[in-house]
Amino acid sequence: MIGSIDPVLLVASLMIASTPILLAAIGEMVVEKAGVLNLGVEGMMIVGAICGFIAAVKTGSPLAGFLGGALAGAAMAALFALLTQVFQSNQVATGLALTLFGLGLSSLIGQGYNGIRPPATARLDLGPLSDIPVLGRMLFSHDWMVYASLGLVAAVWAFLRYSRAGLILRAVGESHDAAHALGYRVVRIRVLALMFGGACAGLGGAYLSLVRVPQWTEGMTAGAGWIALAIVVFASWKAGRVLLGAYLFGGVTVLQLNLQAAGVAIPVQYLSMAPYLITILVLVVISADRSRVALNAPAMLGRNFHASR
Amino acid sequence: MKRRVLLATAAMGLGLATGGAAFAQGMDNVKACFVYVGPIGDGGWTYQHHQGALAVKEAYGDKVEIAWQESVPEGADGERVMTQMALSGCNIIFTTSFGYMDATNAVAGKFPDIKFEHATGYKREHPNVSTYNARFYEGRAVVGHIAGKMTKTNKIGYLASFPIPEVIMGINAYFHHAKLANPDVELVVTWAYTWYDPAKEADAARAMLDQGVDVITAHTDSTAPLAEIAKEGGNAWGFGQASDMAAFMTNDDGSPGPRVASIIDEWAPYYVKRVGALMDGSYEQIDSWAGMPEGEVVIGEMNDAIPADVKAEAQAMIDAITAGDYHPFTGPINRQDGSAWLAEGEVADDGTLLGMTFYIEGITGDIPQ
Amino acid sequence: MIRLERRPTPSRFWTGATPVLAVIATMIAGGILFAALGKNPVEAIRTIFWDPLFGQFASYSRPQLLVKAAPLILIAVGLSFGFRAGIWNIGAEGQYIIGAIFGAAMALAFYPMDAVIVFPLMVLAGAAGGLAWAMIPAVLKIRFNTSEILVSLMLVYVAGHILSAMAFGALRNPEGMGFPGSRNLQQYPAAHNAELIAGSGLHWGTVTAFLAVIVAYVVMQRHILGFQIRVAGEAPRAARFAGVNPARLTAICLGTSGALAGLAGLFEVSGPSGQITPDFASGYGFTAIIVAFLGRLNPLGILLAGLLMALTYIGGELAQLTLALPAAAIQAFQGMLLFFLLAFDMLSNFRIRIGRPEGAQ
């Protein structure tokens, strides 16, 4: 019965299913690399979902929708930045409050937008590529945001690895005092990282409301933002592994549903726990080796910085 | 001690002022209150209950006042909200989720003069508790017939939420009528373990489509499965669930959309009737399980993707159920293991349906435990 | 130029004044929000903050404040130990769930036996469940230096899936007509965590929460453990010299918070909630983190913060009921309250100075 699952279609559908969490996770990874833990991803995502939805419906353009979602997510992140970077509030508590606020705010903004269909996001025409047997259907037949998200992962990877700005960002996450002593503007860098993370989360939310679902309903992110947080940890703060993690987390859901549809009896709840347990395992493995953990987890994660001198 | 007395007097005072008088001779003004499990903006279950609440206001105008509370968690919060409602002068309280069952009965015991109406439950521990439900399986039967006729691959899908009798009943009704319409039909069931998670619902629909399923009915609340079906470009079909989901009836280019029909939960007739009964003094405790005849289960407009003859057959079935001439579970029907359940012409009794934990013959796979 | 200067010790005046300021600011901002929604802002604010305490039916809602606040306070007090020591358990939600499952399973194992011993055994099971769940991040941290923030968070999701599996499987009520959810413990007298004095809101969970506040206060002020916790949080390097064993401290802090969260889950499932259902968890574990910070990690502050949080829940419900305010507006309002409280907190830890600092380049 398992043989009746077509791996080509499985990969194709898991790529789409994973895109929202991939976008949110890659943004959060940059934030955490800068040493900030923002637990408000869910809140930023859902505000991005509704604002993106409204922008797309009002203008008739999905592109405007994605921009709107990104801007709204960034605005939410700016609020978080104001509280944690300027007012020095605790990051964990502020992030949780941001999620609470975002869920409420999005429902308020979204009243009157139920039951509407947003403008369709075009499939990217890759010409002959999508006609390649197997690979064409698997990889080259998606909407353009899927490729944009992959491009974003590559860009973040290159940025952190090769650019000077990326190096500074990582330095801020490793030791804000040292970075400050070297003359870098710790707070400014963190605010920018946060806004980028918020924009990514907003994009992920907009992808849900414009492509994945597409509709607006309250609470539609249904925990995707929390999964994004798990993915960052699973990935041990590496861009490439964020992609892997997003496909694993998204893939487990898709796979269990496909197994069911193929008539295989599976214990759904236990399978759904698996990615989280694997994440813990990964975490243990990377933490146990102290030389490697230094390269991965940002040392200043979750700590506030205040320039005393 | 003092507080207990205070509470008791508050409750009694209200009871005398409002509910107590109503029982005998009816009331001029009624305050009807509604407890919702989700947000009104869910576009499905709670939205439809709220439409029913608004219909009550519409029907009686100034003579009724309605109040509601959304996103009330089941358990302790539900009990507190109901008590607050009872204290604040509600005469009748509708609690619209199965999970409120014990809380509804507990609060009803403390406020004997206020009427409580619990949706989809089975406990009526006090004379002022009524229960109500709708025969959604009647709608499943009709869409099952349409699915059996429309499938090209002979594989139809059911996006199930949780393994509970309500859902199993729907699966059986759907498959039974699909099979009657098309003996070659096969059913694929996918359990999403959620009532509402649009992305997951879309994934589940996608998984079934990838298995060659081309007609899907969902027992979850969002339109995401329809949007996923739409991506098949007119080669697969689905149904609106809970609300009409009319946005998917017609494509932008005017061709018929993926939503070929819908099963609509219409709570308005029941709510209007019960509040009306409270006003004219005819109110009694009941266990209501109404369906198409009473207008509580409605099949939304069928679009032109359905061939005309199938439309006519579906309409005939709707008419027969509405007239009371046909019961969707009429024998012969066997259980999954081949043993006899209903003999020729025998009709299922309500008790068996409400506690249904078995598949009928022809469905493959097991109900998850 | 305006700049912030860290105070050597938090200002006593501002520590007391900021919550009041924050509530006032929230009332103003919330009033604007409610007015924008077409509601009378004064009436809305009064309904949320005044009516549950002194309104017409306050005799009912005042005890309910205690019922709603009890789990928040109990969990938050436990968390405050770790948070002060720089040990971040953000998985209290998971420990709460596992505590409830353990406690309920213990009760159901004895069902329908009517014995006095049942409830104490449930309490032990609940605490043990929460403790065990919290010891996972503790052991991993001690043994492998794994981040307890992330492990405890991951375990929340695992606990959520276990809850669902239990509600549909092992703990399902055999007489429940095939519906998910356990037997209702409110209907099993030996296991029921009933109100100790009817209508008072005092059940064993409320009592335990109050006890926890007192014990935590004494420990933090008077006991060597409190000293160690404070030193570890404020000066981790000095703590080593002061003889603090970090592994032991990690185990104690995570274990305490886990056990208290497990107890909160047990008291909730055996009392106000009554049942293990797939939707049993309603976010108390996360809300308690906010409560812990609002209370400035001080047991007495947490007591007040928990009650304030409960007030916004219950007042918010009243505002929905009487003014037809959407639930979303209440949620956004709570979010604002938290933002203001967190933002104004700065005043107690920092001094605002105008002008350039001396000796700046």
Sequence-separated (6 or more) residues with CB below 8 Å from residue B291: B134, B135, B136, B138, B297, B321
Instruction: State the average pLDDT for chain A.
Output: 85
Q: Which segment of A144-153, A266-275, B3-12, B311-320 scores lowest on mean pLDDT?
A: B3-12
Give the C-alpha separation, B241 to B252, whole Å: 21
What is the structure's pLDDT at A114? Answer: 78
C58 located within any domain: yes
C245 located within any domain: yes
Q: Is the pLDDT of residue B15 over 50?
A: no
CB contacts of B33 in chain C (<8 Å) are 321
B30-35 and B64-69 strand pairing = parallel
Give the C-alpha separation, A105 to A99, whole Å: 10
CB contacts of A214 in chain B (<8 Å) are 227
Tell me whether residues C180 and B164 touch, CB distance under 8 A: yes
Give the C-alpha separation, C267 to A202, whole Å: 39
What is the structure's pLDDT at B53? Answer: 96
Give the C-alpha separation, A292 to B236, whole Å: 51
Tokens (6 digits) for A301: 């994660």
pLDDT classification of A153: cutoffs 50, 70, 90: very high
What is the structure's pLDDT at C357? Answer: 53
pLDDT classification of A126: cutoffs 50, 70, 90: low
User: Strand, coil or helix: what is B105?
Assistant: helix
CA distance B280 to chain C (A): 26
φ/ψ (deg, to 5) at A43: -65, -40
Tell me whether residues C293 and A90 touch, CB distance under 8 A: yes
The stretch B178-195 carries a mean pLDDT of 92
φ/ψ (deg, to 5) at B34: -130, 130
Tell me whether residues A88 and C286 touch, CB distance under 8 A: no
What is the structure's pLDDT at B6? Answer: 37
What is the structure's pLDDT at A274? Answer: 80
pLDDT classification of C11: cutoffs 50, 70, 90: confident
Residues in chain B: 369
What is the structure's pLDDT at B185? Answer: 96
Return the partners of chain C (3 or more C-beta pairs < 8 Å).
A, B
CA distance B229 to chain A (A): 11
What is the percentage of chain A residues whose pLDDT exceeds 90?
Answer: 36
Model confidence pLDDT, tens digit, residues B192-235: 888 888 888 988 999 999 889 999 999 988 888 998 898 888 89
pLDDT classification of C122: cutoffs 50, 70, 90: very high
Report the residue of A257, A266, A268, A272 to disrupt the B interface, i.e. the one with the largest count of B CBs within 10 Å.
A257
The stretch B226-251 carries a mean pLDDT of 89
Tell me whether residues C199 and B71 touch, CB distance under 8 A: no
What is the structure's pLDDT at B83? Answer: 93
What is the percentage of chain A residues whose pLDDT exceeds 70?
Answer: 89
pLDDT classification of A149: cutoffs 50, 70, 90: very high
Model confidence pLDDT, tens digit, residues B164-173: 889 999 999 9
Give the C-alpha separation, A219 to A216, whole Å: 9
Peptide bond before A118: cis, by omega within 30 degrees of 0?
A: no
Give the C-alpha separation, B190 to A261, whole Å: 6
Burial of B221 (0-12, 13-18, 19+ CB in 10 A): buried
Model confidence pLDDT, tens digit, residues C307-361: 999 999 999 999 988 888 888 888 888 888 888 888 887 777 777 776 655 544 4
C333 located within any domain: no
Q: For C48-56, which contacts have Cβ atoms below 8 Å and span 24 or more sequence positions?
A: C48/C311, C48/C312, C48/C315, C48/C316, C48/C318, C48/C319, C48/C330, C48/C333, C49/C23, C49/C311, C49/C315, C50/C315, C51/C315, C51/C318, C52/C311, C52/C314, C52/C315, C52/C318, C53/C311, C55/C318, C56/B87
- Quick check: A215 contacting B, CB < 8 Å? yes
Tokens (6 digits) for B162: 């949780």
Model confidence pLDDT, tens digit, residues C178-216: 778 888 888 888 888 888 887 777 889 999 999 999 999
Displacement of CA C95 from its chain's centroid (Å): 12
Tell me whether residues A208 and B204 touch, CB distance under 8 A: no
pLDDT: is B30 or A264 the higher one?
A: B30
C280 located within any domain: yes
Give the C-alpha separation, B276 to B268, whole Å: 12
CB contacts of A36 in chain C (<8 Å) are none
Yes or no: say if A285 and A234 are a contact pair by the CB < 8 Å rule: no
Model confidence pLDDT, tens digit, residues A168-220: 998 888 888 888 888 888 889 999 999 999 999 999 999 999 988 888 888 88
Tell me whether residues C168 and B77 touch, CB distance under 8 A: no
Q: Where are the alpha helices (DSSP H) in chain B?
A: 2-17, 19-25, 45-60, 76-87, 101-110, 136-150, 165-181, 198-210, 224-230, 268-280, 308-323, 350-354
Give the C-alpha separation, C192 to C185, whole Å: 6
Q: Is the pLDDT of residue B17 over 70?
A: no
What is the structure's pLDDT at C73? Answer: 96
C18 located within any domain: no
Q: Which segment of B107-111, B240-244, C12-16, C164-168 scores lowest on mean pLDDT?
A: C12-16
What is the structure's pLDDT at C9? Answer: 75
CB contacts of A15 in chain B (<8 Å) are none
CA distance B350 to chain C (A): 13
Interface of C with B (CB under 8 A): 56-57, 59-61, 63-64, 67-68, 164, 168-169, 177-181, 184, 186-187, 197-200, 268, 271-275, 277-280, 282, 314, 317-318, 320-322, 324, 326-328
What is the structure's pLDDT at A127? Answer: 67
Give the C-alpha separation, B117 to C189, whole Å: 27
Q: CATH number, domain at C81?
A: 1.10.3470
CB contacts of B4 in chain C (<8 Å) are 197-200
Cut 0.90: pTM above it:
no
What is the structure's pLDDT at C115? Answer: 83
Yes or no: say if A230 and A279 are a contact pair by the CB < 8 Å rule: yes
CB contacts of B87 in chain C (<8 Å) are 56-57, 60
- Quick check: B102 contacting C, CB < 8 Å? yes
CA distance A220 to chain C (A): 14
* Number of alpha carbons in the 13 Å side-chain half-sphere of residue C331: 23
What is the structure's pLDDT at B7? Answer: 38
Q: Is the pLDDT of residue A308 over 60?
A: no
Q: Is the pLDDT of residue A266 over 80?
A: no
- Quick check: A307 contacting B, CB < 8 Å? no
Tokens (6 digits) for B60: 């009686």
CA distance B38 to chain A (A): 9
Return the partners of chain A (3 or more C-beta pairs < 8 Å).
B, C
Q: H or E element: which one contains B302?
A: none
Burial B129-143 (b: 16+ CB within 10 A, else e): bbbbbbbbbbbbbbb
- Quick check: C289 contacting A, CB < 8 Å? yes
Q: Which residue has the tokens 């039974």?
A: B176
Q: What is the span of the domain harbouring residue C196?
A: 40-324
Q: Where are the alpha helices (DSSP H) in B238-286?
A: 268-280
The stretch A37-59 carries a mean pLDDT of 94
Give the C-alpha separation, C181 to B102, whole Å: 12
Q: Which of B7, B33, B72 faces C60 most closely, judged by CB atoms?
A: B7
Q: Which of C197, C272, C327 faces B70 most closely, judged by CB atoms?
A: C327
Tell me whether residues B207 and A13 touch, CB distance under 8 A: yes
User: Which residue is closest to C179 within chain B, CA to CA?
Assistant: B164
Domains of chain B: residue spans and CATH: 2-134 (3.40.50.2300), 136-264+297-354 (3.40.50.2300)
What's the total number of domains in chain C? 1
Burial of A284 (0-12, 13-18, 19+ CB in 10 A): middle
The stretch B342-368 carries a mean pLDDT of 90
Yes or no: say if A288 and C147 are a contact pair by the CB < 8 Å rule: no
Tell me whether residues C161 and A105 touch, CB distance under 8 A: no
Report the residue of A215, A226, A252 to disrupt the B interface, i.e. the one with the largest count of B CBs within 10 Å.
A215
CA distance A139 to chain B (A): 16
Q: Which residue has the tokens 């203008």?
A: A59
CB contacts of C57 in chain B (<8 Å) are 10, 84, 87-88
Model confidence pLDDT, tens digit, residues B43-99: 788 999 999 999 999 999 999 999 999 889 887 889 999 999 999 899 999 999 988
CATH number of A2-296: 1.10.3470
Q: Is the pLDDT of residue B8 over 70?
A: no
Yes or no: say if B168 and B140 are a contact pair by the CB < 8 Å rule: no
Domain ranges, ordered by start, for chain A: 2-296
What is the structure's pLDDT at B306? Answer: 95
User: Strand, coil or helix: what is B341?
Assistant: strand
The stretch C105-115 carries a mean pLDDT of 87
Give the C-alpha separation, A164 to A178, whole Å: 16
Tell me whether residues C154 and A273 touch, CB distance under 8 A: no
Q: Where are the alpha helices (DSSP H) in A39-85?
A: 41-59, 62-81
What is the structure's pLDDT at B25? Answer: 66
Q: Is the pLDDT of residue A121 over 90?
A: no
Give the C-alpha separation, A205 to B109, whole Å: 45
CB contacts of A107 in chain B (<8 Å) are 39, 41
